[in-house]
A and B are shown apart, each in its own frame.
Chain A
């Protein structure tokens, strides 16, 4: 994990979830980017998502 200030000066390597053009453009500009074949998590089922979130991230924050 790199804090933002530690990230400055390093080469950025971006993981891109969503609009594929953004990763294309980073590569065209000489940067590094990996693409995600994005699909809605848990097939978009809100109830299942809530359960996964609880297991994965805990419930430390409000709404979490």
Chain B
């Protein structure tokens, strides 16, 4: 067995390209392992943690590509393997001609009217600033952009009448075009403004699945509604949707914002002619106040929006469900989410009904899991959190971290109720159900639940995904809240309203 490490200086590749290339190399005969990373400190820590060390790795910088190969034979050439796999990925993806700069691309295509930026966070400010300078609306997918940089970019955009969605904006649909992780949904009269990525996806899909459609879905980034940023992008998005002739109802999704910003936003929308459905995840707001309808879950927000916008008949205001514990069945709950907002909503629903839930994203120090790889008691894990994604593609694309967790669950009798999210749509794994069925089938004597976030129009084929999961013994739901309610019932809770 031979281990080789090669560092290619000034060779930048994104995490998805590296995942695809390393997957191809791993399939080569005689290769037992392949790790390809950019030499950031975080990524190098990941290699060191796996026992991979060399002087070349120590000296590698963030723009240097580190190739680690473990092979059965001694004559394996990592550079040759890399070149071959790179060529193949480029053939597979039909990679187009690439321009040297934003300016170069605009010179060739003067019709460019939007910039999508997912470069490393350290450089995202620069590219976004340049895009605004060139008069483009911008979406920043990148995380690790400083708060000061975000504030500066958003002020500049606001002065120009442009928007900066993000940073850390994972999804949007503008004029029917899917941006980053977005689902294929019907066009319609419901607009979405969301400070939460999976929240936006969940509401868009639920609207579609209830027969409605989306006009625009605008992400703002998670920090937009903080006191420091002041909700600049949310305000721009709401104003634009209020002016938009296609949009009749606007769904507004966020974790509870800063009080002053919440008052400003609700003050502004209460003066608008259009109806708003507002869901502040985890907040107790409910009922109707003028043109504002408060929702109790992501699915409830979609239901109210469709009732108002499509059915023109609101059946119920906030639909709330409460549970009491009758007799707790043996075994703990273990939820393994790829969508951060879904994990957050799950914790909130369970906590509201009296459950004490441990998590790697818990705000309560006594409930924060010390080791996110090791759940204890009832636990909800967000696998998209930084701890799991260092040097890796997001778990919506790369199932590795969840497979590892499910393999641990197979050996642990303590977890009896297992929850998963399966996020479909552009950007996500092309067959997540298929990737998980092997480990799922090894889970004996456990109740398995999956929330499928998607529509029948998504490229993964929703029905096929459902069938594969059902064959592995998983109960599938297209509503996130409904899945949690069903799980609670099986754990011994009884619905009281």
A→B interface (CB under 8 Å): 1-5, 7-29, 31-41, 43-44, 49, 53, 56-57, 61-64
Contact = CB atoms under 8 A, between A and B. Distances in A.
B347 to A, nearest CB: 29
Contacts, number: 193
B114 A36 contact: no
A15 B112 contact: yes
A21 B115 contact: no
B129 interface: yes
Contacts of B351: none
Given A7-B137, A14-B179, A61 B152 contact: yes
A16 B120 CA distance: 13
Contacts of B178: 25-26, 29, 31
Contact of B240 (A3, A12, A13): A3
A17 B115 contact: yes
Interface residues of B, number: 78
A44 B39 CA distance: 14
Interface of B: 10, 12, 14-17, 61-63, 93-102, 104-106, 108-109, 111-120, 122-123, 126-127, 129-131, 133, 135-137, 141-142, 148-149, 152, 155-156, 160-163, 174-180, 184, 215-216, 218, 236-237, 239-240, 243-246, 426-427, 459
Nearest to A38: B119
Contacts of A22: 116, 118, 141, 179-180, 427
A36 B386 CA distance: 26
A2 B469 CA distance: 45
A30 B93 CA distance: 15
A61 B180 CA distance: 30
Contacts of B98: 35-37
10 contacts: A2-B137, A8-B175, A12-B114, A12-B175, A13-B114, A20-B16, A35-B96, A44-B122, A44-B123, A62-B148
Q: What does DSSP make chain B's interface, helix, strand, loop or mixed?
A: mixed
A61 B155 CA distance: 9
A4 B137 contact: yes
A54 to B, nearest CB: 12
Contact of A49 (B62, B126, B142): B126
B62 A44 contact: yes
Contact of A21 (B93, B111, B120): B93
Given A4-B163, A9-B246, A17-B127, 17 more contacts: A2-B113, A4-B236, A7-B113, A7-B175, A8-B240, A12-B113, A12-B176, A15-B102, A15-B112, A18-B119, A18-B142, A22-B179, A25-B178, A31-B176, A40-B123, A57-B129, A63-B149
A16 B116 contact: yes
Contact of A14 (B116, B130, B244): B116
A29 to B, nearest CB: 5
A44 B275 CA distance: 47
A17 B117 contact: yes
B109 A41 contact: no
B180 A36 contact: no
Given A15-B115, A29-B177, A40 B12 contact: yes
Contacts of A36: 98-102, 104-105
A11 B175 contact: yes
Contacts of B184: 29
A37 B244 CA distance: 35
Nearest to A24: B93
B389 to A, nearest CB: 13
A64 B112 contact: no
A26 B152 contact: no
B246 A18 contact: no
Contacts of B240: 3-5, 8
B175 A9 contact: yes
Nearest to B102: A15
Contacts of B131: 15
Contact of B116 (A3, A10, A17, A37): A17
Contact of B152 (A4, A10, A34, A62): A62
